[in-house]
């Protein structure tokens, strides 16, 4: 087992985290996103709320992952309506029987405790102090983990929304193949880990992550995300969006970046909600803000298709024989007729150009989405996320329209440039 001892500034935290994540994934089945988020929470010194039925391994997981940080321990307490302040503080506020000097704490069934105890914990989570006999006692807490077998309700839940920044539901093993691996212990059951970090490492990263910059483009889309969340009535306070920037900057820093990018925004999927209904709605808001709306894209393509069909019909009925040099201009007004035909082809070219601009706009949106997906794939804290807007059928339609418009627009353009006068046209006709 390797324990890092080199100075923090010489470490490759991203490489170490990738190695650690890969190792943890062999020990915990279907916990890939949980692993990544918990590590990010620990490095960003923020708290997490875990929801999951009994038996999904919440406690064992937290014991293992907090052991990644050297010289720390996870202090655990089962909260009940009978839990008193003395139980949290311990006999003498020592590290062994109290949370005061513990760096990581698990409050299992957090919201089953009395309201007055929950109120006293708010300052612990936010300011890292606990009031004892009217005196503020500093705690060593880095990250707290609240856990529940069900989603809590009640008046005291809301104040914790801005404190327990991360929230994730831990489901039972979903796939049959993975259940088979679990019951046969066909996974790594050892507690050995290839990489460990120190509290100094976390402090070093925490200080440096503050220097991560926010571009105007990122700020703009973040503000759009907030506005859309407010518009749709999702419960996520401005304060929580403000705190979240610290987490997103840590994501950027540990991914070897000096500024935030769009991938960091997808971490908000695990932050900006307070109940399952809001979780679903915020995910829709996030994906539509970042990837666009499938119905809108479908509508744009449909309208382009309708207009192109009209243009194609007009081109075939009135101008096909002119474009192919099969039409013979005759009579004393033939110059005027030629000019009318040429003007008509010019109008077709202009109408096709308008549709070409529209399809190019859609292509540009698709390229932007591709760029975002690339950033997501490079972010070690995210699992594979793909857009649901530009599906294969949409891409086929885009390609068909783009190709048709481009070909016909080019044909009209070349005809116009090559036939400035009737005399030139007749040279080709005859």
CB-facing half-sphere around the CA of 238: CA atoms within 13 A: 2
pLDDT tens for each residue of 51-91: 998 889 999 999 999 999 998 989 999 999 998 888 787 65
Q: In whole angstroms, what is the distance from residue 427 CA to residue 46 CA?
A: 79
pTM equals: 0.89
Which CATH number is 43's domain given? Answer: 3.40.50.300
Q: What is the distance in angstroms between the CA of the first residue and the CA of the last residue of the chain? A: 87
Higher pLDDT, 134 or 107: 107
Annotate 275-312 with DSSP letters as a single string: SHHHHHHHHHHHHHHHH--HHHHHHHHHHHHHHHHHHH
Instruction: List Cα–Cα distances, 286 to 10, 37, 293, in angstroms.
Output: 36, 18, 11
Residue 95 has a pLDDT of: 53
Residue 1 has a pLDDT of: 34
Q: Are 166 and 219 members of one domain?
A: no
Q: Are 97 and 216 members of one domain?
A: no
Beta bridge partners of 147: 50, 108
> Diameter of the chain by CA atoms?
113
Q: In whole angstroms, what is the distance from residue 49 CA to residue 153 CA?
A: 14
Residue 185 has a pLDDT of: 94
- Residue range 223-251: mean pLDDT, rounded: 96
- Residue range 245-268: mean pLDDT, rounded: 98
Domain count, the chain: 3
Least confident of 12-16, 116-120, 139-143, 152-156: 152-156
Q: Are 54 and 129 members of one domain?
A: yes
Q: Which residues are CB-contacts of 48 (< 8 A; sequence separation ≥ 6)? A: 37, 38, 41, 143, 144, 145, 146, 164, 165, 166, 167, 168
Q: Is 390 helix (H, G, I), strand (E, B) or coil?
A: coil
Q: Which of 181, 205, 229 is the last residue of a domain?
A: 205
What is the pLDDT confidence band of residue 3, given thresholds at 50, 70 and 90? very low
Burial annotation 202-230 (CB, 10 A radius, 16+ → b, else e): bebbbebbeebeeeeebeeebeebbebbe
On the question of pLDDT at 196 being above 60, the answer is yes
Residue 92 has a pLDDT of: 60
Q: Are 23 and 122 members of one domain?
A: yes
Mean pLDDT, rounded, of the chain: 92
pLDDT tens for each residue of 110-120: 999 998 889 88
The packing angle between helices 58-66 and 32-44, to 10°, is: 50
Q: Are 275 and 420 members of one domain?
A: no
Query: CB under 8 Å, gap of 24 or more: what pairs does 95-102 form?
Result: 99/75, 99/124, 99/139, 99/141, 100/130, 100/137, 100/139, 100/140, 101/139, 101/140, 102/72, 102/73, 102/74, 102/75, 102/139, 102/140, 102/141
Q: In whole angstroms, what is the distance from residue 314 CA to residue 312 CA?
A: 5
Q: Which of 182, 205, 228 is the last residue of a domain?
A: 205
Q: Are 232 and 187 members of one domain?
A: no
Residue 2 has a pLDDT of: 40
Structural domain containing residue 223: 210-291
- Residue range 278-284: mean pLDDT, rounded: 95
Q: Which residues are CB-contacts of 289 (< 8 A; sequence separation ≥ 6)? A: 221, 224, 225, 228
Least confident of 88-102, 197-211, 397-411: 88-102
HEC secondary structure over 53-88? CCCCCHHHHHHHHHCCECCCCEEEEECCCCCCHHHH
Q: Are 284 and 313 members of one domain?
A: no
Which tokens in the block code for residue 409?
């627009």
Residue 73 has a pLDDT of: 85
Residue 5 has a pLDDT of: 46
On the question of pLDDT at 308 being above 60, the answer is yes
Q: Which of 384, 399, 390 is nearest to 370 (CA)?
A: 390
Residue 380 has a pLDDT of: 98
Which percentage of the chain shows pLDDT scores above 70? 96
- Residue range 377-394: mean pLDDT, rounded: 94
Residue 413 has a pLDDT of: 96
What is the pLDDT confidence band of residue 406, given thresholds at 50, 70 and 90? very high
- Give the number of other CB atoms < 10 A from CB of residue 240: 18
Residue 129 has a pLDDT of: 87
Q: Are 19 and 99 members of one domain?
A: yes
Q: Are 9 and 53 members of one domain?
A: yes
Q: Are 283 and 298 members of one domain?
A: no
Q: In whole angstroms, what is the distance from residue 71 CA to residue 67 CA?
A: 8
Residue 134 has a pLDDT of: 76
Residue 150 has a pLDDT of: 82
Q: Are 117 and 237 members of one domain?
A: no
Q: Which of 152, 171, 205 is the last residue of a domain?
A: 205
> 353, exposed or middle or buried, with CB in 10 Å at 0-12, 13-18, 19+?
middle
Residue 94 has a pLDDT of: 57
Residue 151 has a pLDDT of: 81
Q: Are 59 and 127 members of one domain?
A: yes
Residue 56 has a pLDDT of: 92
Which percentage of the chain shows pLDDT scores above 90? 80
Q: In whole angstroms, what is the distance from residue 337 CA to residue 349 CA?
A: 18
- Give the number of other CB atoms < 10 A from CB of residue 313: 10
């Amino acid at each position: 087992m390797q324990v890092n001892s080199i100075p923090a500034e010489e470490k490759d935290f991203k490489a170490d985290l990738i190695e650690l994540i890969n190792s943890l994934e062999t020990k915990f089945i279907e916990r890939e996103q949980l692993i990544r988020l918990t590590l990010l929470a620990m490095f960003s010194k923020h708290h997490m709320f875990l929801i999951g039925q009994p038996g999904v391994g919440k406690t064992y997981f937290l014991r293992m992952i907090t052991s990644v940080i050297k010289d720390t321990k996870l202090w655990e307490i089962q909260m009940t309506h009978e839990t008193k302040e003395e139980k949290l503080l311990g006999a003498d506020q020592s590290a062994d029987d109290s949370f005061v000097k513990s760096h990581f704490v698990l409050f299992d069934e957090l919201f089953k405790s009395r309201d007055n105890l929950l109120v006293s914990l708010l300052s612990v989570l936010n300011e890292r102090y606990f009031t004892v006999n009217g005196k503020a006692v500093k705690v060593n807490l880095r990250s707290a983990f609240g856990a529940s077998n069900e989603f809590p309700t009640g008046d005291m839940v809301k104040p914790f929304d801005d404190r327990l920044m991360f929230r994730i539901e831990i489901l039972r093993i979903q796939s049959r193949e993975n259940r088979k691996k679990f019951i046969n212990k066909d996974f790594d059951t050892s507690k050995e880990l290839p990489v460990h970090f120190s509290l100094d490492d976390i402090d070093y990263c925490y200080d440096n992550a503050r220097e991560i910059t926010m571009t105007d483009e990122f700020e703009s889309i973040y503000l759009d995300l907030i506005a859309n969340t407010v518009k749709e009535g999702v419960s996520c306070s401005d304060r929580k969006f403000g705190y979240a920037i610290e987490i997103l900057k840590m994501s950027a820093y540990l991914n070897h970046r000096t500024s935030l990018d769009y991938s960091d925004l997808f971490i908000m999927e695990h932050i900006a909600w307070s109940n399952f209904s809001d979780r679903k709605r915020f995910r829709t808001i996030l994906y539509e803000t970042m990837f666009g709306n499938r119905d809108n894209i479908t509508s744009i393509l449909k309208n382009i298709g309708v207009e192109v069909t009209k243009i194609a019909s007009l081109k075939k009925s009135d101008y096909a024989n002119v474009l192919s040099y099969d039409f013979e201009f005759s009579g004393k007004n033939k110059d005027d007729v030629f000019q009318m035909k040429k003007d008509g082809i010019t109008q077709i070219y202009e109408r096709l150009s308008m549709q070409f601009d529209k399809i190019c706009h859609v292509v540009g949106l698709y390229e932007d989405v591709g760029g975002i997906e690339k950033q997501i794939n490079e972010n070690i804290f995210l699992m594979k996320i793909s857009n649901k807007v530009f599906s294969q059928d949409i891409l086929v339609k885009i390609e068909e329209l783009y190709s048709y418009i481009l070909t016909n627009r080019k044909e009209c353009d070349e005809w116009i440039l090559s036939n400035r006068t009737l005399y030139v046209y007749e040279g080709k006709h005859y």
